[in-house]
A and B are shown apart, each in its own frame.
Chain A
Amino acid sequence: MNRKLTLAAALLAATVMGGAANAKTFVYCSEGSPEGFDPGMYTAGTTFDAAAHTVYNRLLEFKPGTTETEPGLAESWEISDDGLEYTFKIRQGVKFQTTDFFTPSRDLNADDVVFSFDRQLNSNNPWNQYVAGASWEYANGMGFPALIKSVEKVDDYTVKITLNQPEAPFLANLAMPFMSIVSKEYSDKLEADGKKELMNQQPLGTGPFAFVAYQQDAVIRYKANPDYWGGKQKIDDLVFAITTDAAVRYQKLKAGECHLMPFPNAADVEAMKADPNLKVMEQEGLNIAYLAYNTTQAPFDKVEVRKALNMAINKKAIVDAVFQGAATEAKNPIPPTMWSYNDAIKDDAYDPDAAKKMLEEAGVKDLSMKVWAMPVSRPYMLNARRAAELIQSDFAKIGVKVEVVSYEWAEYLDRSKAKDRDGAVILGWTGDNGDPDNFLHTLLGCDAVGGNNRAQWCNEEFNDLVVKAKATTDQAERVKLYEQAQEVFKREAPWATLDHSLSVVPMRKEVEGFHQSPLGDFAFEGVDLVE
């Protein structure tokens, strides 16, 4: 007995020590602090990286590195012919994480799924307002309250969701971080203990990494979830070292204090590529920057005027000056990484002389206009003022006088929505779910006029196409409809499409298995460190 114990102790010590010696810790220099750890309540990518992609899973997941969906916690699903009923088969044997703060007694089942929806959609659910001001912004933003009629448990491993109208992007929406599946059992325990707020501080899910600790504004620690249904991770620990300044992140990467960083300064990218200890991944981001004319105001209500202005903009100069080349010129309102991108469309060539002539033919003389420049740097437009100044000088060449204006960011977003707005607005969009509907309908549909549709552009032909595509579940049919919609867009030119920025991810040479996500996520499932 004694000997057995000794042996066991020795074995244990060996395991612990061996583990310590070989423990692989992956350090990610993240760009900011998460707002919280309940992905349902927030909209920021920083929060989703820290909470959703580590700790949680969703019914469907995006295939790593793509905008296509694949089965996640739902093994399979069936859609009724009318497109209203979705029946999901829940994967069996999925374990919730065992942590210092909670030990689950059962596997994932339909109760967890139903609860994850209900807490966001049902204002009578005790978890709907579990912290003051919980607002479930994404569920509301994606129209879930109006779209979803009911979410029912059919049996322990089957859930049926009924919609009020057919909606093709629904499946992609379910793969979004805000629809992370939480544990009903854990929630019940927190409720019983009177500590509901911990749901937003100590998350617990089924994902590849289990939450360990968060030191506010400094470090988030996770350990690999040994029970993960997708297989154990190759790294043992995952650490987010919060480093807000991009130049400092770069120094940390160089010094080996972290393995991977997001959002480098454009000016540093060349040096990163030249550094033998680093490698750099690049991909067109799921984004677009545009200049939206107000198509309801003369003379911008005329297609020829908008076309002429579009032809006067030297996009290459903008890409070079603002992004140091880390962007591509945009011809369509959706990025090339998105399915249904119509590559057959030809862009309006940069031709100031032709533009000038076209403007004259349209009877427009001595035109003065405002160009709005965003006061903040966004991934799709790093420096809107610089871009606006370039547009100003481009337009000067065709005799159009431009006044560049700007407002504080929230004010800018608000004022630019006005239907009688004066001037063309520089703005952009980063896709949420990889579905073209999320760009074409959300930004250019008739019901978005006075809101996201900054061009105030309601074109019947275009709108019919995108509305029809939204209600069709036949993928091939949808592709066709969206391709047509892009043709109409190009012909009518409500925007000048400016650029799609490249998302650049520098990392240490030893990092393997990282998939750059077109959705802009930083997810570390499957990464490894190979010396």
Chain B
Amino acid sequence: MLRFLLGRLAVLIPTFIGVSIIAFSFIRLLPGDPVALLSGERVMSPERHAEITHQLGFDRPLPIQYLDYIGGVLTGDFGTSIVTKRPILDQFFSLFPATLELSFCAIIIAVVIGIPAGIFAAMKRGSFFDQSVMGVALVGYSMPIFWWGLLLIILFAGILQWTPVSGRISLMYFFPPVTGFMLIDSLLSGQSGAFKSAVSHLILPSIVLSTIPLAVIARQTRSAMLEVLGEDYVRTARAKGLSTFRVIGIHSLRNAMIPVVTTIGLQVGVLMAGAILTETIFSWPGIGKWMVDSVFRRDYAVIQGGLLLIAAIIMVVNLVVDLLYGLINPRIRH
């Protein structure tokens, strides 16, 4: 087990270096000069331009800039935002809980609905239920998030007024963040109604963000179940006269879960990508919105720092998923 873990960690290091090089060089390959953008339509004098370029260190050779950057990262210094002039790590940690909270709720919705839907669809293969579930899943998977989010806002917040339009909590509640997770902080604040308000603000963005993972998980569960349901041991179990519940719940599901867990693990990347759009629509102050804003502002430091941190999170989650296999299937216990 330890050897496996060390082996996986050894792979992580070159992956991380690779990601850092891509993050670093990619944004520099893009056309557009971040220094010139600082002044917009107002033209900056060439001397002023040179001065700021120098201040920001953009006039040094790229390899030196890179080494300098990586040196900083290794000591926990991800640099300072060109625009806000605040340390990137500070901003990341103050915004990340919002994204985590949203992603967590989204993945819960996706799993709680997606897995049972996939199981029932597999059990009733070819039925009307099966076809509707798979049809809805395909639509969900193909839907542009931006449009879907706006549609839900207009219907549920605008016309029906069941939920608030956007934000994390009603503006009437004001308390300093403790954990950064609004659900927890609202309870800690002791203000009545705060928790309810936080939940109501979470509903629409969670649904929007869960849509794609939900579709993927449902489809994956269905196909994994179909495969398992055709196995000899399932027929044997049925022949023994076991209840459907035991056949499905114990014998089939556990075996079908391995590809499903992999899929759920892979959804972390999808959630991060989805968070970018979802957070932007719902004015959700998380890292997705932060990255979008930074791209528009050409804030190199934030884009590369943010990319690196997000990549690190995805890598760690994948590692955890690998370790989880062992818990589900003893045969691949490391």
CA distance in complex: A247, B154 (Å): 9
Interface string of A363-399 (1 = CB under 8 A from B): 0000000000000001000000000000000000000
Quick one: given A133-B55, A414-B33, are A218 and B285 in contact (CB under 8 Å)? yes
Quick one: given A242-B283, A410-B298, are A255 and B91 in contact (CB under 8 Å)? no
User: What's the least CB distance linking B308 to chain A, in Å?
Assistant: 19
> Are A408 and B85 in contact, with the CB atoms below 8 A?
no
- A30-81 residues with Cβ-Cβ distance < 8 A to B are 32-33, 35-36, 41, 43
Quick one: given A135-B55, A141-B42, A427-B41, are A410 and B31 in contact (CB under 8 Å)? yes
Taking each of A25, A133, A219, which has the highest tally of chain B beta carbons within 10 Å of its own beta carbon? A133
Q: Is B184 in contact with chain A by the CB < 8 A criterion?
A: no
Q: Is A232 in contact with chain B by the CB < 8 A criterion?
A: no
Stretch with Cβ within 8 A of A (4 or more), from B108-116, B166-174, B251-259, B319-327: B166-174
> Are A408 and B30 in contact, with the CB atoms below 8 A?
yes
Q: Is A102 in contact with chain B by the CB < 8 A criterion?
A: no
Which A residues touch B39, using CB under 8 A? 43, 137, 141
Within 8 Å by CB of B31, from A200, A213, A378, A408, lies: A408
Which A residues touch B158, using CB under 8 A? 251, 254-255
User: What's the least CB distance linking B44 to chain A, in Å?
Assistant: 7
CA distance in complex: A36, B82 (Å): 11
Interface string of A394-426 (1 = CB under 8 A from B): 000000000000011111011001000000000
> Are A213 and B32 in contact, with the CB atoms below 8 A?
no
Which A residues touch B30, using CB under 8 A? 408
Q: Is A279 in contact with chain B by the CB < 8 A criterion?
A: no
Q: Is A24 in contact with chain B by the CB < 8 A criterion?
A: no
- A254-287 residues with Cβ-Cβ distance < 8 A to B are 254-255, 257
> Are B293 and A32 in contact, with the CB atoms below 8 A?
yes
> Are A452 and B43 in contact, with the CB atoms below 8 A?
yes
Quick one: given A25-B171, A427-B41, are A245 and B285 in contact (CB under 8 Å)? no
CA distance in complex: A215, B165 (Å): 18
> Are A133 and B166 in contact, with the CB atoms below 8 A?
no
User: What's the least CB distance linking B2 to chain A, in Å?
Assistant: 40
> Are A217 and B56 in contact, with the CB atoms below 8 A?
no
User: What's the least CB distance linking B200 to chain A, in Å?
Assistant: 12
- B79-93 residues with Cβ-Cβ distance < 8 A to A are 80, 82-86, 91
> Are B52 and A135 in contact, with the CB atoms below 8 A?
yes
Which A residues touch B95, using CB under 8 A? 216-217
| Secondary structure call for the B interface | loop
> Are B36 and A248 in contact, with the CB atoms below 8 A?
no
> Are B32 and A410 in contact, with the CB atoms below 8 A?
yes
User: What's the least CB distance linking A360 to chain B, in Å?
Assistant: 36
> Are A429 and B166 in contact, with the CB atoms below 8 A?
no
Q: Is A451 in contact with chain B by the CB < 8 A criterion?
A: yes
> Are B150 and A247 in contact, with the CB atoms below 8 A?
yes
Quick one: given A245-B280, A410-B298, are A251 and B293 in contact (CB under 8 Å)? no
Interface string of B241-285 (1 = CB under 8 A from A): 000000000000000000000000000000000000000111101
> Are A132 and B80 in contact, with the CB atoms below 8 A?
yes
- Interface bracket on A: 35 or more
> Are A252 and B165 in contact, with the CB atoms below 8 A?
yes
Quick one: given A27-B171, A217-B285, are A248 and B31 in contact (CB under 8 Å)? no
User: What's the least CB distance linking A27 to chain B, in Å?
Assistant: 6
CA distance in complex: A99, B183 (Å): 29
Q: Is A221 in contact with chain B by the CB < 8 A criterion?
A: yes
User: What's the least CB distance linking B32 to chain A, in Å?
Assistant: 4
Q: Is B61 in contact with chain A by the CB < 8 A criterion?
A: no
- B158-182 residues with Cβ-Cβ distance < 8 A to A are 158, 161, 164-168, 171-172, 174, 176-177
User: What's the least CB distance linking A200 to chain B, in Å?
Assistant: 6
> Are A218 and B280 in contact, with the CB atoms below 8 A?
no
Q: Is B37 in contact with chain A by the CB < 8 A criterion?
A: yes
User: What's the least CB distance linking A376 to chain B, in Å?
Assistant: 9
Q: Is B153 in contact with chain A by the CB < 8 A criterion?
A: yes
Q: Is A11 in contact with chain B by the CB < 8 A criterion?
A: no
- A203-246 residues with Cβ-Cβ distance < 8 A to B are 213, 215-219, 221, 239, 241-245
Q: Is B78 in contact with chain A by the CB < 8 A criterion?
A: no
Q: Is A352 in contact with chain B by the CB < 8 A criterion?
A: no
Taking each of B52, B174, B282, which has the highest tally of chain A beta carbons within 10 Å of its own beta carbon? B174
User: What's the least CB distance linking B247 to chain A, in Å?
Assistant: 48
Q: Is A134 in contact with chain B by the CB < 8 A criterion?
A: yes
Which B residues touch A408, using CB under 8 A? 30-32
CA distance in complex: A112, B56 (Å): 30
User: What's the least CB distance linking A333 to chain B, in Å?
Assistant: 14
CA distance in complex: A284, B95 (Å): 38
Q: Is A428 in contact with chain B by the CB < 8 A criterion?
A: yes
User: What's the least CB distance linking B244 to chain A, in Å?
Assistant: 47
Q: Is A131 in contact with chain B by the CB < 8 A criterion?
A: yes
User: What's the least CB distance linking A19 to chain B, in Å?
Assistant: 14
CA distance in complex: A430, B42 (Å): 10
Which A residues touch B34, using CB under 8 A? 410
> Are B285 and A134 in contact, with the CB atoms below 8 A?
no
Q: Is A155 in contact with chain B by the CB < 8 A criterion?
A: no
Q: Is A140 in contact with chain B by the CB < 8 A criterion?
A: yes
> Are A200 and B165 in contact, with the CB atoms below 8 A?
no
CA distance in complex: A429, B42 (Å): 9
> Are B280 and A429 in contact, with the CB atoms below 8 A?
no
> Are A132 and B85 in contact, with the CB atoms below 8 A?
yes
Which A residues touch B240, using CB under 8 A? none
Q: Is A353 in contact with chain B by the CB < 8 A criterion?
A: no
> Are B283 and A241 in contact, with the CB atoms below 8 A?
yes
CA distance in complex: A252, B283 (Å): 11
Within 8 Å by CB of B289, from A141, A244, A254, lies: A244
Which A residues touch B91, using CB under 8 A? 216
Which A residues touch B280, using CB under 8 A? 244-245
Beyond the given pairs A131-B85, A140-B44, 9 more chain A to chain B contacts, judged by CB atoms under 8 angstroms and listed by A's residue number, are A135-B38, A137-B44, A140-B45, A244-B280, A244-B289, A410-B33, A410-B37, A414-B36, A417-B43
Tell me the B residues contacting A by CB distance below 8 Å: 30-34, 36-45, 48, 52, 55-56, 80, 82-86, 91, 94-95, 150, 153-154, 157-158, 161, 164-168, 171-172, 174, 176-177, 280-283, 285, 289-290, 293, 297-298
5 inter-chain pairs at a CB distance below 8 angstroms, sorted by A residue, are A43-B40, A133-B52, A134-B85, A378-B41, A410-B33
Shortest 10 CB-CB contacts between residues of A and residues of B = A410-B32, A217-B285, A218-B285, A131-B85, A451-B43, A408-B31, A252-B165, A411-B31, A243-B283, A251-B165
